[in-house]
Each structure stands twice: as C-alpha cells, then as structure tokens.
Structure 1
Amino acid sequence: MAGGPTGRPEVSSILAALGGAAFVWDVASDGMTWTDGAVSIFRDIEPASLATGAGLARLIEPSGSIRADILRATAHERRPGEAVAYRIEYGVRASASAPMLWIEESGCWFAGADGKVVRVEGIVRLENERRARDEQLVRLSQNDALTGELNRTHLTAALAAAIEEAARYRSSFAFLLLGVDHLARINDAFGFDVADEVIGDIAKRIRARLRGGDVLGRFSGNKFGLILMNCTSDDMNVAAERLLAGIRDEIVPTRSGPVSVTASIGAVLAPRYARTADEAINRAQEVLEAAKSRRSGSFAVWRPDVARDAQRRTNIRVTDEIVTALNERRILTAFEPVVDARTREPAFYECLVRMRQQNGQFLLAPDVVPVAEKLGLIRLVDHRVLELVIAELAAAPGVRLSINISPETTMDADWWAAIESLMGAHPGVAERLIVEITETVAIQDIDGVREFVTRLKNFGSQIAIDDFGAGYTSFRNLRKLGVDIVKVDGAFVQNIASSPDDRAFVQTLIDLARRLDIRTVAEWVQDEQSAVMLRDWGCDYIQGQLIGLASPARPWSGSEAVPAA
C-alpha cells in the first residue's frame, strides 16, 4: 500500500484494499474523476465510459437515469453549500452479452448558489456476492426447493392476481390442480428419494408443456397448481389431456430403475366459477378428489350443481343440530331386542342412536350417523352413546346391551380413555357390554381391529362383527380377530323364505360360524317362516320386525330412557 508524504496510507489505497473506489463528479462539466480502485470494480469497461456522468448512465440497467433521478428528488430548496447524503444500487454491463456488475453507490451532493446540484462526491462498491445471496434468499422464499417452481404461498398470490386481472379485462383463465396418483406407493416401494425424483421429473414435463405466460407451482407434496392464462373451456380440456398423456406415456427414470406413474387433474374456470383464490383452490381440489375416486389418471371440471349445493346447506344445518343436541343432552338411545332363536327370550338389546329435535320429533340413526361420520362429529356422538349405555348397564344389573362403533372411534384414544374411566367407575358392566364393529372396518385394518378386540376383551366385553356378508371378511380372519358374535347382514336374511340363493348363503355362514364356535345373529327377520328356518339351521339369535323394532322405552322396566347426567 502506498503512503503519503507523512507515511500514512492514501485514501484511494485504503478504498481499493476494501474493494471500493471514490469519485468526484462535476455536474456542470459532467466530468468524473476516479481513484485507482475503479479499474478493478468496473471490470472490462473502458475508462472513457467512466469519464463522464452521461457515459456511466449509458451503462446502467435497467434505468440509466437512476443517478440523476435520485439527485433531482433530493434537490428541493437546499441552501448553497449544503451537503445531502444519498445511496443507490444499480447494475452495469460492459456489453449486452457481459455479466451484470451490481454496484452500491453512496455519497453526498453539494448545492450551488441556486440550490441545485453542482458537485457529487461518492464511493462505489461491487456487491455481486451480496446481490447473489439476496436473490437466492428471494428464490428460496418464493420457490419450491425440490422443483424450483413457485411454492404454495406465491402460487396462491399469483392465482389471486390472475383473478383480479381477468375480472378487470373480462377475460378467463383455468386453474388446474394436478395430483400424482398413488405417490405413497412409490414412497413405500422405492423410498422417499425416488419419489422426490418422480416429483422433479413431472415438474419438468409440466413446464415443457406450458405456454410462456402460464404459471406453475407446487401446491403440496404430490400436487401441482397450474394457471393457464387466456384459456377457454375447450383450451383447458386440450391442455389437461396433453399434460396427463405426457406423464402417463413416458416412464420416469430414477436411480432405482424406471417408474411408471399417472396423474389426475381437477380444474375450474375463473373468474366465472371462482371469484377468489380460495374458491378456485377449493373447487379444483373437490373435483380432483372426485376424479381420483372415479379412476386414476382422469380429468374432472368443476360445474355448478344444485343438488350438491342443497346437500351442503343441509349438512350445515344438520351439523348445527347435532352439536346443539349434544350440548342439550338430546342424543338418546333406543333399544332393539335380540332374542334367542329357540326360546324367543331376550338375550340382549342393541342400542341405536336417536336425536330428539326441538319440536319433539326423533331423527333415527340412518339420518344422524352418516352425516355425523361425513362431517367429523361421529366421535362426539359415539362418546355420548357410550356414556348412556354404561349408565343403563349400571342401573340395570341383569341387562346386556350392545353398541355400534364407527370406524373412526376404533382408533380414538379419547374413546379408550373414556371407556377405561367408565369401566373403573362401574365394576361389572364390562361383562354385559357387546361392542359391534362393521365388517368393512375389519377388512380395512385386520391388525388394528385385532388390537381393538383384544383390549376390549381384556375388560371382559364381547365383540360382534356387524353386517357380515356385506364385505369380504374370510372366516380365517374371524378366527384371527377372536370375535364372539357374527351378525348376518339383513339384506341376505330378509328374503331367505323366497330366495334359494340367499338361503344357501345364510345357511352356509351359520354352519361355518358354528364350526368355529362363533355365535350368530340374523338381522331383519320379518316373518315366522324365516325365523323357523334360521332356528333349524342353528342360528343362535334373531332380531328384526318380527321380534320388535327399536323403542326409547326400556323393555326390561317399561320406562323411557333418559339422558345420563
């Protein structure tokens, strides 16, 4: 480093060592004087281009007047000789093909007698590394790390902007949600790294099939959102089929070998059928799920549906009614007798849900349970029914009762905590409780249901499989589960007097169950002839219209059931 006459380093040398350079700009003559460090900052730029303010302005992108603009903006009513600080950033290029050099310039300008700028003194620094870091941070905040496409937040923002623009200019566009089918299977079969490769490859295929103005983003793990600008309904259909074919027809090469995948698409036209980003997303997701449930690799478009909208309004109303009924203790039980097939003496009573409306009328289980299951309220209903049934068992020591449990409740930790607490508070009731689970639950998760059965049997309770025959549970699985009772689906029982096929099916079920030492209940018994046939085949219990339908009155005492406190 060079030193001055006193042995101290020169300012220009210090600046150069720190990666900076100083200048003085005489505005009247437009001449600029630089320290030596300017050569290393403005690489490959001719010194003549830096000799004047106008020459530097011609190099600046995107606006060559940025320096003059900042000076004009701060030049109002200044006193002569007053110094005004400023700071700006800009990019310069030696040529159109040269890389951009990002410059940070800070300094002061000085006012003349008329208050206008007469001289500028400043320092410039090369900020390429900081700029690159900033741009990387921006990219990370806006883009998905795996695919490089927009992340969900910025995709949603782009969708909102597209809706606003389309409404302003009376144009239309399509919003598509593309979901990779069965990605979980790829995760299980090959690992998450291979699934990531599949996602990355599909993103490239989608991008290659989009137009310049279209927008692509990763919506979630296996879903992409696409905004197809200036798109009609016909254009949307063509684009969707092209996208699906591009994914379906080409194998994805991965480090673990080739993987074949398909995708499904749900789409909505906006702003005609979606006036907000949330509405567009919800409707696209709705039809995407419908497409997937219909067939993998398919395409569905959202359209207005009067019946669907009416059903949703009903769901909202019934949801409110169920919650209110729970709060007001208007969820009750009715008791349907199950009798010995030989003696016709009551063996136990099945407890069925009833909801007393505010007008005094009752909604039956088929009106309450399916809606409660669909809307996520069934666990609350099942909790309430459990409380009622345990209270009945505690109040009537000689009675046996059964309750139906929804699929969600079988794995509900809160339900287990409740039953453990109630069993502890009322010794002796567990042995008189029968818990019924549907066959469809049993076949979906054999191991999970076996654990459920084991825990309940440890309390002393018995387990029944309801609606047996409606699904595909094998008798091998029945033995594996260790159930005590099989209830034969009433759809087969109700016609055994007139249908040879139903007779053969029911008789075979009863015979196989008896060989496995599992007791049987025939549901929906409607006539004496059927009851006699069932008895002769060895069926243990029967229930249905012939025996007596469910009633809120306690059959063992003649009084009506009331909510437990």
Structure 2
Amino acid sequence: MTEHSNSRSATAADPRGVALSTQLSILLICLALLTFAATVLVSTSNMRNYLDSQLAQTAQDTANSLGLAISPYVGNDDMTVADTMVSAIFDSGAYLQIRFVDQKKQPLLERQNELKVDGVPVWFLALFPLEPPVMQSEVNDGWRIAGALSVQAHPGYAFKSLWQHTKAVFWTSLLICLLALGAVHVLLWYVLKPLKDIEKLAQHLAEKRFELLNYMPLTKELRAVVRALNHMVSNVKRNFSEMTDRAEQLNQQVYLDPLTGLPNRRALLQSFSSLPQTPAADANRPYLTLIALTSLKQVNDQQGYAAGDQYVEKAAGLLQQQARTQELAQVFRISGSEFAILTQFGEGSASTFQLQLQQTFEIANSEQYPHGFAAVVMAPLQGAEELSSVLARLDGLQARQLNHPAPATQNPAEALINPLSRSHWQEILHEFTRSVVSDTTAGFSDTSLQISNEMAAMFNLEVQPVFQGTQVLYAETFVRFNARGEQLASADVFAMAERLGVSLLLDKALVTYILSQLRGQSSHSFAINLSKSALHDSQFTRWLVNTLEANRAWLPKLVFEVNEQATLGAIASANQFFGALKQAGAAITIERFGASFSSFRYLQGLNIDFIKIDGSYIHALESPDTRFFVETMTQICHGIGIRVIAAQVELRSQAEICQQLHVDALQGRALHAPVSFLQIAEKNDCKFSDNQLSSN
C-alpha cells in the first residue's frame, strides 16, 4: 500500500532538523571559546617570552657588574672579598646560580639555589615553562683574563608574575566573552525572531490558517521574504474565499430552501440516488419519513404568511433537533408544507424514532394549529424503488392517517416497538463493552490493546480499500456486530448505545478491537471511523493518543475518519482532537463531506489531510451543476492542501468523471467491495487485488 506520509510531512516538522538559531548559537559559542582560549594562550605566551628576555637581560647585567666588582680581587690568593661580594648578590634570592671559574675551567666560586616556586600550580609550570639562560662575563686581572663569571636568574618571581598575569587575562577575557555572547544572543534573537514568525506563518498556512505577519523585519532579505509570504497567503485566502462564496451561492440556489436553510427536494433526490440498491450486510435499512404541516394553510389564511413562516421555521427546528439524535439522519423541506427525513435504521430504531417525532409534535401542538401541528408517516425503502413511488406510497399512508387518526401514543418508555427490549439491549451493550468498563472507571489508563475471546466473537472486522490510481491509499475498517448468533444493525447498536449512555464505552471497545486486529500491519495504512461522542471527549482523546504512542512500533499508519456533521457540532473541540492525533502521527479524514449542505469555510483552520465527498454527489455527477460543485469543492481543498476522495463509486462512468475533475482517490464497490480483514490478512498479507475498473 502507498503511504499517506506526503500529506503528513507537509504539516509535521522534521524532528531530526536543527533550528537555525541553535546552529548559529553553537557556532558563535565555539568561536567565542576559540577566541577566549587563543587570547589567554597568546597573552600568556607573549608574557612568558617577555619574562624570558627580562631574566636573560637581568642575568647579563648582573654578570657584567659583578665581574667588574670582583676583578681587583680575583688575582690574589685570598678570594675572601670576592666571595663576600658574590654571596651578597646571591643571597637576594633572585638568582638560580652564580659561578666563577678560572681559565682552566676550575670553579673558584659557586652558589646555587633550588628551583622551587610557591603559589603557582605544578601544571602551570609544566605547561608554560621558563628557562632563563646562563649569561657569562669575562673577569680581567689587569691585562690578563682571570676567568669567567656565569649568572643564571631565578625564574620564581617571573613564574609568579606570569601566573598572576594569566589569571587576570583569563577572568577579563572570560567576562568580555560572556558579555559578547550575551549581546550576540540578544542580537540573534532580535534578528531571528522574524524568521521564527515566518516559520510559524508557513506552518499555519500548512494547517489551513490564513494569517499574515503584521510587521516588517529590519533585515532586508527577511523583509522580502515576509512580503512574498504575506502576498501568497493573501492570494490563497482570497482564492479560498472566492471559490467558497461561489460554491455557497450554487449550493443555496440549487440545494437549499431559502426560508429554513434546509436541503430542498433536489437535494433529497440526490441523496436518495446514493442509497445502496441492495440491503446492507449489517441489517441497516434506509427509511424515508414524511412530515406534513397539517395546519399550514389555515395559519396562512387566518393569521397571515408571517405566522405561516414562523410555523414552518418552528417545525424545521424541531425536526433538526430530533435528527441530531441519529448520526445518519438528513432533514429536507420538499414542498411548502412537507418535510422529509432520510436515514438508516434497524427496524426497532425506526419505530422508536417515529414515535419520538409524534410525541414532539403533540407537545408542540396548540389551539393555534386547528388540524394539529404535524402528521408523521415512515416507510422502509424497497430495493431500487424510485423516490416518486416512495413519496406516493407515503402520501397514501398519510391520507389514511388523517382520515382515520390513530389513538394517542403512549409513554415512550412503554412504547418501544424494538424487537429487543431495553433490558436485552443493556445486556448486549454490556457484553460489547465489558472489557473496557473497568479501565474507563479508572480513567482511561490501559493502552495494552488486550481483548477477550468473547469480544473477538462478537465483532467482525471488514475492510474496503481507497484507491489512488492503481495504488491503495488506505483501507477503511468496518465492524459488524454479532449477538446471540444474529447480526445486529449498526444503526440500532449506536442508537441504543447513545440512548443508554454508553456510546463512549462502545467507541473505546471498537477502537481497542480494531487496533488489536491491526497490530503487526506496520507497513500498511488503515482508517478507523469515530463517532461524535469520541470526537469531543478529552479523556478519550488522551487515551487514544497514549495508546497510539505506546503501540507505535506494531501499529500500521492510521487515518481517523469523522463525520462532517459531528465536526460541525463543535469545530473548536474537533480541531483540538485533530491536532492531538496529528501529533501522534495519524492522519484525519472528514467523511460525508457536503452532506450537510453547509458552508465550506469551516475547513479554514482545520488541520486535516483528506475529505471524502458524500456519495450523493458522486451518484449525481451526470448533472452539470453537481459536476461544477464537485470540481469547485476539489479546487477549494487542493488550494489548501487537502486531498479529495470520492466515496460510493459504483459505476465506471462515475470514476471517469471523478478523474476528469481531479479527484485524488476513489472508494466504492465498483473498485473493490468490503472484505473480511482476517481473510485478506491471512491469505494476501493485506494486499488487495487491483481495482476492478483498472483490471477491466
């Protein structure tokens, strides 16, 4: 499989790189230390040479003067006076030795001191030795040479002077070096601060945050870079805004109802066309709910159109509120007095949802609405049924309901028509989440990915590849639920988990199960779907990040897919989640992109890698408006560094149009159907066959 590292490398800093400020600081410190050491060494060496010459000069002067002084007395047999003079000079301690020899080199007078220096370290004496020369002077007796006087100065005082000089130079140079380094550090900070801000600006641009640097550096070259970068960011931001405005304008004109802002009948037709023609493998089934505002005509006639509009807007708000409880529900306004909700349910969840709608409208009803607030009918879709025939069937049900009203509904707690009772669902969900309950209570600390045999038997993992050309970009994972020997509808499981307050536990159990199955597939890339509850829970985020980091060596490259509607619910919270996972090395995909028919501006500032276009657009690519919309969507995403995936590609013609529109990757049964993970892992080492379109 190909890696998705290209998109990640664009936003992640290379941990092996060394900052320019660090490199310059190291260089300057090395230069400062070299300069400091050279200053001390050169100064000490010069001082040593000077002292050597002074010792030689002193010894020569002493040899000349002492030789003249003792010359009248060296010719006598009695050398007492000469000896006294030599002793007087020698006893001062300034000389290492004084020696007088005759012409036959026989010593007549000799004095010698021990070479001992107090107050100077031995290592310094060895490192900077002073070697005073032996200086000589001839001593005359009248007209003849009586002998030679040799004098060698004692280096003790010179060593002390050299040591004191070296210490003074050391501390003075060190102080100057530190002050210079401090000044250079301040100067570097001042000079490089704009460079850090430029780096931050580039990083923000990679994260789809269009920010400008609001000052100009003093450095000429950096000013040019800042101008160019600000200009580029401004252009990208302007292009993003212009294309987003154009897409929003088209979206509003074609797909949105001007009064309520809800998707209109055309949007319903597009979404309807993307529904699977065959029943889903996990017992989910598409349902269409028709809601008629039964009193709208009377409200318009008796209270005016303004009251009628308020009536419609109130109904739209109530429907949206109920639709938020179902992850895949979409609300449409298909005519002046009619709304529709398209979603997928198991049979029991559909009955419960219809009952909740009826009770919501009964609560909203009042004398203002002479024929009741609204009427609700729901029907499952049957195979390849056309939207017109489904609506006709629902109209018939609604007419019978209005002519023969059903008795008032009972309490929701008593009216659940679900084949499985509430207590049975509690037992099933407890079995699904048993292995993670204790860790959740303990604060999400277990990152071991250990699963029980019971969990492995209750969950089945399937995967479906996403193709980029002929290569697999990544494979999306799906979990099928088994309980008591029967397969459960995923929509029912998630709906009941939400209703019973265990949706977060279920998410943790599913992620733990999927990651445990993916261990050892480190050379491949897989995607995991997350629900809204997981997306916005900080404790779950910390656990997920810690788990990824603790098992990094064994896990594949991961992509986490989240629903667009879940992201729009709290964009700031979602962005924090995305940032944490990006730091952990994962990539992010927003799936069902465009299904909410909302503005694309929320992409600005979201640090994501992929968007997966909702299948309703892919199935409507024959329409010029839809093609233009998808092309604009792709250009917007490419402009801010996001790759685009087309989902639910079922036909070759759809794939060809997507390629013409520069969509980056494709997913759907036309390319490769979902397969069992165990089957493909054991038989093919997680290598998928070529996509079916390229092989035809």
Same fold, TM exceeding 0.5?
no
Q: Relative to total residues, which structure has the larger helix share, 1 or 2?
A: 2
Between structure 1 and structure 2, the one with the greater Rg is: 2
TM-score, normalising length from structure 1?
0.43
Which structure has more relative contact order (CA 8 Å, sep 6+)? It is 2
**Structure 2 length as normaliser, TM-score?**
0.36
Q: Greater strand percent: which structure?
A: 1
